[in-house]
Copies of this chain bind each other. A is one copy, B any other.
C-alpha cells in the first residue's frame, strides 16, 4: 500500500490529542506526516513539525498559510486532520473541504447544529470526506455489536443504556483551574458541558451500534458543583427512529469512575453489554440463555470486527488501535479512490459529518429540554 500524505492542524507540543492522532495515523504505516500547522505560536509549531519529520517548507505557522500553500501543490495532501480548539473546527473544516481536501475533524465538528448542517451540505457538494473523531466506534467489539444488531441477532432493539461518567471534575478546589473552568463557561463551551464533552461519545456509540438516529430527547441537567453555569451531570432519554429507547447518563463528578464509557443494548432476542475500560470482552446473553463472553479475536466474529483487530486473542488491544481503525477506514477509501476502485464497504463505517450533525442536534435539543424542565423535544432531521 502506498503511503498517503497527511497534514495536521493543531495538536502541537503539550497537546494530549495530538500524539493520539499521530499514533493512530502512524500505527499501520498508512499515513506519513507531510505538512502541518501545529501551534497557535507559529515558530513553536514549525519547529515541532520539523522535529516530527515534516519538510521545512511544509511546516507552517498557521492553518491559513498552510491552506494557501497546499491547495496549489500537485502532490496534494490525502487527508488533513483538524485538532485545534473546538470553536475553530467549523471554520477550518469548511475552508479545507471547500478547497477540495479530505478532512478528519476532532469532535465537536462545530459549535452549533446550524454550522453542522452547513458542513454536511459542503461535504455533499464537494464529495470530499469529512470524518469526525468519535474514535470509540473503532473498537473491534463495537463493530461486532453493530454487526450483530444489523444481522438481526438481537431482533428489534428495545432499549439502550449508555453511560460516560467520570470523576475528574469533582474537586471543588478546581474551581479556578483553567483546564477545568472553561468547560463550564457557556462563552467557551456552548450550551452543554459534560454531555457535549463526554456523554456525546456514548450517544454516538448508541446510534452507531443500533444503526438508528434520534427523533426526540428529554433531559435533566444538573450543576452539582457550586458556581457552574453548565451541567456537570446529565440524564438524557432519547427516542430513536427505529423504535429503540436510549437512556444515557453522563457525569463529571462520579468519583471513582475512571472512564465510565459503557453500552448495554437490549433487544427482543438478547442483550449485549460492553465497557470501554475492558474493551476486548463483549457480554452477550441470548433470551432465556446463558451469558457468553465474546472475546475480540474469537473465531466467528463479524467481518467488520475481524478487520478492526490487529493482535491475537487474549491481549488488550486498546484505544490506540480503535482510533487507528478510523484512520485505516480512511486509508482504504483514499487508496481505492486513487486506484479508481470501489472502497471496501466495511470502511464506510467511519464516523462522519452526519454523525457530527446528529451530535449537535442532540446537544441542542437536550439543553433545550433541560431548560424546560425535562420536556420532550422533537429532533428535526
Binding site for B on A (CB under 8 A): 1, 3, 16, 19-20, 22-23, 26-29, 33, 51-53, 158-159, 161, 165-167, 170-172, 218, 220, 222, 224-225, 233, 235, 237, 245, 247, 249, 251, 253-260, 264, 266-268, 270-273, 276-280, 283-288, 290-295, 297-299, 310-321, 373-376
With A28-B23, A318-B321 as known contacts, state yes or no: A237 contacts B220, CB within 8 Å.
yes
Chain B nearest Cβ from A34, distance in angstroms: 13
Chain B nearest Cβ from A306, distance in angstroms: 14
Complex: A351 Cα to B35 Cα, angstroms: 36
A285: chain B residues at CB < 8 Å are: 167, 255-256
Between-chain CB contacts (< 8 Å), 29 pairs: A3-B53, A23-B27, A26-B26, A27-B320, A29-B33, A158-B224, A159-B224, A159-B233, A161-B249, A167-B285, A171-B287, A171-B288, A172-B268, A218-B220, A255-B285, A255-B287, A256-B273, A277-B316, A280-B316, A290-B294, A292-B293, A311-B319, A315-B319, A316-B317, A316-B318, A316-B319, A317-B320, A320-B320, A320-B321
**How often does this chain occur in the complex, in copies?**
4
A16: chain B residues at CB < 8 Å are: 312
On whether the beta carbons of B245 and A247 are closer than 8 Å, the reply is no
Give me 11 other A-B pairs in contact (C-beta within 8 A), A235-B247, A320-B320 excluded: A26-B27, A159-B253, A161-B254, A171-B287, A253-B266, A255-B270, A255-B287, A257-B264, A277-B315, A292-B293, A318-B318
A28: chain B residues at CB < 8 Å are: 23, 26
Complex: A220 Cα to B259 Cα, angstroms: 27
Chain B nearest Cβ from A108, distance in angstroms: 18
Contact of A315 (CB < 8 Å), options: B33, B259, B294, B373: B259
On whether the beta carbons of A311 and B317 are closer than 8 Å, the reply is no
Complex: A321 Cα to B23 Cα, angstroms: 10
A23: chain B residues at CB < 8 Å are: 27-28, 310
On whether the beta carbons of B26 and A29 are closer than 8 Å, the reply is yes
A317: chain B residues at CB < 8 Å are: 316, 318-320
A171: chain B residues at CB < 8 Å are: 287-288
A19: chain B residues at CB < 8 Å are: 310
Lowest 5 A-B CB distances belong to which pairs? A318-B318, A259-B314, A256-B285, A255-B271, A258-B314
Contact of A235 (CB < 8 Å), options: B225, B235, B319: B235
Chain B nearest Cβ from A199, distance in angstroms: 13
On whether the beta carbons of B258 and A295 are closer than 8 Å, the reply is yes
Residue picked from A28, A158, A251, A284, most chain B C-beta under 10 Å: A158
A320: chain B residues at CB < 8 Å are: 27, 310-311, 317-318, 320-321
Complex: A233 Cα to B233 Cα, angstroms: 21
A172: chain B residues at CB < 8 Å are: 268
Contact of A271 (CB < 8 Å), options: B3, B167, B218, B319: B167
With A29-B26, A290-B294 as known contacts, state yes or no: A159 contacts B254, CB within 8 Å.
yes
Measured CB to CB, the nearest residue on chain B to A51 is: B1
Contact of A292 (CB < 8 Å), options: B222, B235, B292: B292
On whether the beta carbons of A52 and B27 are closer than 8 Å, the reply is no
Complex: A23 Cα to B373 Cα, angstroms: 47
Measured CB to CB, the nearest residue on chain B to A299 is: B288
Chain B nearest Cβ from A380, distance in angstroms: 19
Measured CB to CB, the nearest residue on chain B to A273 is: B256
Residue picked from A23, A26, A249, A283, most chain B C-beta under 10 Å: A23
Measured CB to CB, the nearest residue on chain B to A245 is: B222
Residue picked from A225, A292, A318, A373, most chain B C-beta under 10 Å: A318
